[in-house]
Structure 1
Amino acid sequence: MSAVVLSPARRFLLLVSVSVCAASGLVYELALISLSAVLAGGSVVETSLIVAGFVAALGLGALAAKPLLTRAEVAFLSVEALLGLVGGLSALVLYWAFAVVGNSLAVLGGATLVIGMLVGAELPLLMTLFQRGKLVDATTSGSVLATLNAADYLGALIGGVAWPFVLLPFLGVVRGTLAAGLLNVCAALVIAVLVLRSDVLRRQFATIASGLCAIVVVLVSVLVASDGLVTSARQRLYAFPIVYFHQSKYQEIVVTQWGKDRRLFLNGGLQYSTRDEYRYTESLTYPVVDASTSRVLIIGGGDGLAARELLKFPQVKHITQVELDPDMVAVANSVLRDDNAGALDDPRVTVLLRDAFTWVRTPPLPQDRFDAIVVDLPDPDNEIIGRLYSQEFYSMLLKHLAPGGAMTVQSGSAFTTPDVFSRVYSTLLASGCASVVPYHVHVPTFGDWGFNFCTLTSRGLVMPKTPAHTPRFVDQGVLDAARVFGADNKPRLLPANTLDRPLIVADRRRGYRQAGE
């Protein structure tokens, strides 16, 4: 059956479908990047591989479409059907692969390749549809290509804006991707009925329309059941029952509980267990306090535990806490309130919902400097967090420290990740600390855990007087012993971690077994 020339109205509808499909295609790619951040840390390596792999797959898809150009109508609708199905289900499949296998890299690569090839096949097929039945010269061909590219880029812009501002915050990664797949298939169904119906054989149209409708039913069914499916997959990742889950704009927040043991996880990484978090929290906060400590700055610490300990000292009159994620603060004030004793609601605590790296760039007035600074951040699994472990960040942060003040930095495991620990130690020295004292304690849930104590003068680890309470773990003997390291994990001088060379991210990924290699 010979194809007819598309009327202006049908060409317009086809352009709309181009934009919708482009928006969906970009959503699939952004969903893969988002999941790589949650499941694998989302470093520049994963992001670069996904973007580069997707772009390469676009080219492969364009080449693979060449034999299909003789039946462009059928091929285009078939590609959109497959793209909606594969793209829509990709996030759910990836999540389950991670939950069951423990490593979703192969599925991530496969999804990137398949989705990229299907998206890449769209443009040559659309070019053929637009030029069907016409004698096309170079100028006309260029005009058609420009029009298609404009529609494609506009759709990509819509998808790029919709993902972070609409789909991800309101639906989450899995349901947001399913919604994009559903929109993708519905657009193809509209095009099949209103634009290309007369250009394909009746039997072919019936087959394609039935297939598209079946995919819509599948995606709608999975969308309805997605909460249960994701909950089942998520629970497989955690030893204890999940009592709270929330996907914020910045991270996945999970709280589990078994008996009295409540645990907080961010992006799958354990942040604390109520069994022994006091060992970590006291070791992090107590060394910076002395008799004159009145104003304290906390960077991170969104769970409220560091603020809880500092508020136990009567000389501490005000705490400023800089935390990026407002949802984490909300969880701390509700689900985790029993753990932090409502510290973030205390009138002595001011929570600033800011990006710490941006906030520290403004130098304070001398009277606004802090007597103590506590840096309680997640491990540097990616470059975004890694910049908060950089020489540049510490240098700016020290400008907020009063001359006689002290700063502690959580520094990872001195045994399991010795390069991370030594990198923080070395970076603090390079940043302007006159004295850096590395120390470590045993936290059963974490193992051997390390900290670094920085001062602008020469001040050692001294247990503060605590008339208001009796510490559960830390005393002067513990602090003295904490400075002792075995021969297998002594702190070493390494090149500083900088914005230009985020070495600490690679350190964190190598971990213990390859440390130092």
Structure 2
Amino acid sequence: MIDPSAPPQVQGVVRLPVGPGAGRFLVLLVVFVCAACGLVYELELVALASYLIGDSVTQASVVLSVMVFAMGLGSLLAKQLRCHAAVGFGFVEAALALIGGCSALVLYAAFAWLGEARYALVAFSLAIGVLIGAEIPLLMTLIQRTSRRGGRTGTDEDAACTVADLFAADYVGALVGGLAFPFLLLPWLGQLSGALLTGAVNVVAGGALVLWLFRGDMSARSRWWLLVANLTVLAVLATATVLVADFEAAARRAVYGERVRVAVRTDVQEVVLTGVGHGPPDLFLDGRLQVDGHHGARDHRALVAPAMRSGRHARVLVLGGGDGLAAREVLRYAGVREVTVVEIDPEIVHLARTDPALSALNAHVYRDPRVKVVHADAFSWLRSPGAARGAYDVVVSDLPDPGTTPGTKLYSQEFYGLAACVLADGGRLVVHAGAAAARPHTFWTVEATIRAAGFATRPYRVPPPADRGFVLAFAGARGAPPAPGPGVVDLGFRRPRGLPPSTLLHPRYAE
């Protein structure tokens, strides 16, 4: 609440409890803290939206463009508060701390209970952007107040130095916030608690500055309302922090049902395993179903069998597939001497080894001495010396769908070119290519990309009503490759013409 009876700050006498140098330093310190908090809010929105909605490039573009636009609006709106800059800044920071600190909670709640987080994402980006945009004009007024107390004349040179100092503190704070989010807040606290802690730091810094340093520029009534607002925000953030574990459990049940048995956030992704007792489990990675306990055997059999039946299969490479189901299908065939599983997330392999239901589903495949596990990114590993050229008869690509931006490089022409290098003469590559009916553009783009890498291809799917599409590819084959075999539906006759391949520099998997 801004009290009109408070002394105006543009022309009035400044009463500060410290000297001008110390006052200027304190304002710049708060600029630094606020900039760090603002960037954390921004990155938290991008990260959570990418996880909940997918396609991180699109989500980052939406958040950044909306926030930059809103910052311009906030700067214009802040002109109305310049005559009461101290109390205005205090309320702006209280609102920013509350909205930014709770944004992750509300965004995840919208996804869990409403099934849609896009509108909440845009609303939070707009609100946070407006409040961040209002900070700089108000802070500029406050820092000029400290200079005026020191007897400065307000020359152009003084104004230029003030702007330089303020933006230097702002940019350095943004750097610290940008580094703190992925390296400290996200791994140690997670997205929800990290955002709440950031909000608490934000409100303490903003409230302390105006309630102590600029208390003489506010009426008693304004100070009282600002103190109540800050304490209320802190109470809300503290309560949310205490309840965040219960909230996560309730939201997870809303998303995955009541059968959640394992839920862990690894360095790579969120891993959720559902199922009752020793029944067939479902495995979700970042909210997307990776293993269907009731149909996983059929789907992985359809993935592996056509490639294994088409020629030699002594040495097999599985890219992804840490759940062990693809390796289980590979080991069903006589003559397999070695299976190398390249899985980036050790936690998936640990679950596949130790969870009773999941290890039963994969037939305890990791106990087999023929199975070797390499924990590495598949793309990077294919480029490394560990990926021997011409060493494998079959390469099975059992990777998450290409609908998320981090996965597009694993469905690129360059990736399939690297896979071709590790195949022996007459080797086969088989790729899980997503939903053939629900996402036909993505499915056929995968097929076109594999062909562009020099393979002859046979696209196929499991029989309806299931919607799992695959591509069987033959390295260096001449003419039409053989059919994928019984038990699957050959889709070669449906191949569209003219689809360009997806590359690292030009990903083409947006529907």
Same fold? TM cut 0.5: yes
Of stretches 334-343 and 40-49 in structure 1, the one that deviates more from structure 2 is 334-343
Aligned pairs (5 A) from 1:361-372: 361-362=383-384, 369-372=391-394
Matched, 1:306 2:306: no
Aligned pairs (5 A) from 1:410-429: 410-429=432-451
Matched, 1:497 2:475: no
Given the alignment, which residue of 156, 159, 162 partners 1:138? 156
Distance across 2 between alignment mates of 1:151 and 1:331: 46
Distance across 2 between alignment mates of 1:55 and 1:206: 33
Q: Would the aligned equivalents of 2:29 and 2:169 in 1 still touch at CA under 8 Å?
A: yes
The answer for the alignment partner of 2:10 in structure 1 is none
Distance across 2 between alignment mates of 1:35 and 1:253: 15
Distance across 2 between alignment mates of 1:21 and 1:423: 44
Structure 1 residue 421, shift from structure 2 partner: 2.0
Q: Would the aligned equivalents of 2:458 and 2:491 in 1 still touch at CA under 8 Å?
A: no
Structure 1 residue 35, shift from structure 2 partner: 1.3
Q: Would the aligned equivalents of 2:315 and 2:392 in 1 still touch at CA under 8 Å?
A: yes
Aligned residues: 485
Percent of aligned pairs with the same amino acid: 40
Judged with a 3 Å threshold, the aligned counterparts in structure 2 of structure 1 residues 334 and 198 are, in CA distance, closer, same or farther, namely farther
Structure 1 residue 99, shift from structure 2 partner: 1.9
Q: Would the aligned equivalents of 2:379 and 2:410 in 1 still touch at CA under 8 Å?
A: yes
SS of the equivalent of 2:415 reads: helix
Structure 1 residue 183, shift from structure 2 partner: 1.2
Q: Would the aligned equivalents of 1:439 and 1:484 in 2 still touch at CA under 8 Å?
A: yes
Q: Would the aligned equivalents of 1:30 and 1:163 in 2 still touch at CA under 8 Å?
A: yes
The answer for the alignment partner of 2:264 in structure 1 is 246
Matched, 1:85 2:106: no
The answer for the alignment partner of 2:373 in structure 1 is 351
Of stretches 130-139 and 87-96 in structure 1, the one that deviates more from structure 2 is 130-139
Matched, 1:440 2:461: yes
Aligned pairs (5 A) from 1:141-156: 141-156=159-174
Of stretches 247-256 and 60-69 in structure 1, the one that deviates more from structure 2 is 247-256
Could you tell me the TM-score, scaled by structure 1's length?
0.88
Q: Encode CA deviations 1:103-148: one digit per residue, 9 max, x unaligned.
A: 1211110100110111111111111111113431111111111111
Given the alignment, which residue of 199, 204, 212 partners 1:186? 204
Of stretches 166-175 and 106-115 in structure 1, the one that deviates more from structure 2 is 166-175
Q: Encode CA deviations 1:65-119: one digit per residue, 9 max, x unaligned.
A: 0110111111111111111001000111111112222212111101001101111
Of stretches 107-116 and 192-201 in structure 1, the one that deviates more from structure 2 is 192-201
The answer for the alignment partner of 2:490 in structure 1 is 483
RMSD: 2.3
Matched, 1:283 2:305: no
Q: Would the aligned equivalents of 1:34 and 1:42 in 2 still touch at CA under 8 Å?
A: no
Structure 1 residue 230, shift from structure 2 partner: 2.2
Structure 1 residue 324, shift from structure 2 partner: 2.3
The answer for the alignment partner of 1:3 in structure 2 is 14
Q: Which runs of 5+ in 2 are unaligned?
A: 1-6, 8-12
Q: Would the aligned equivalents of 1:240 and 1:258 in 2 still touch at CA under 8 Å?
A: no
Judged with a 3 Å threshold, the aligned counterparts in structure 2 of structure 1 residues 111 and 330 are, in CA distance, closer, same or farther, namely same
Matched, 1:430 2:452: yes
Distance across 2 between alignment mates of 1:251 and 1:112: 24
Structure 1 residue 151, shift from structure 2 partner: 1.2
Distance across 2 between alignment mates of 1:75 and 1:9: 22
Given the alignment, which residue of 122, 126, 136 partners 1:113? 126
Judged with a 3 Å threshold, the aligned counterparts in structure 2 of structure 1 residues 14 and 333 are, in CA distance, closer, same or farther, namely farther
Distance across 2 between alignment mates of 1:284 and 1:355: 21
The answer for the alignment partner of 1:318 in structure 2 is 338
Letter of the 1:376 partner, please give it: D
The answer for the alignment partner of 1:263 in structure 2 is 282
Q: Would the aligned equivalents of 2:67 and 2:125 in 1 still touch at CA under 8 Å?
A: yes
The answer for the alignment partner of 2:353 in structure 1 is 333
Q: Which runs of 5+ in 1 are unaligned?
A: 463-475, 508-517
Structure 1 residue 272, shift from structure 2 partner: 1.6
Aligned pairs (5 A) from 1:40-189: 40-132=53-145, 133=148, 134-189=152-207
Letter of the 1:306 partner, please give it: A
SS of the equivalent of 2:463 reads: strand
Q: Would the aligned equivalents of 2:393 and 2:424 in 1 still touch at CA under 8 Å?
A: yes
Distance across 2 between alignment mates of 1:201 and 1:303: 64
Q: Would the aligned equivalents of 1:264 and 1:272 in 2 still touch at CA under 8 Å?
A: yes
The answer for the alignment partner of 1:451 in structure 2 is 470
Structure 1 residue 14, shift from structure 2 partner: 2.2
Distance across 2 between alignment mates of 1:176 and 1:343: 38
Q: Would the aligned equivalents of 2:352 and 2:362 in 1 still touch at CA under 8 Å?
A: yes
Aligned pairs (5 A) from 1:454-465: 454-458=473-477, 460=482
Distance across 2 between alignment mates of 1:438 and 1:9: 70
Q: Would the aligned equivalents of 1:255 and 1:263 in 2 still touch at CA under 8 Å?
A: yes
Letter of the 1:75 partner, please give it: G
Judged with a 3 Å threshold, the aligned counterparts in structure 2 of structure 1 residues 120 and 41 are, in CA distance, closer, same or farther, namely same
Q: Would the aligned equivalents of 1:418 and 1:491 in 2 still touch at CA under 8 Å?
A: no
Q: Encode CA deviations 1:44-81: one digit per residue, 9 max, x unaligned.
A: 22211111111111111111101101111111111111
Q: Would the aligned equivalents of 1:84 and 1:182 in 2 still touch at CA under 8 Å?
A: yes
Matched, 1:205 2:218: no
Q: Would the aligned equivalents of 2:390 and 2:421 in 1 still touch at CA under 8 Å?
A: no
Distance across 2 between alignment mates of 1:328 and 1:147: 49
Given the alignment, which residue of 404, 407, 410 partners 1:388? 410
The answer for the alignment partner of 2:315 in structure 1 is 295
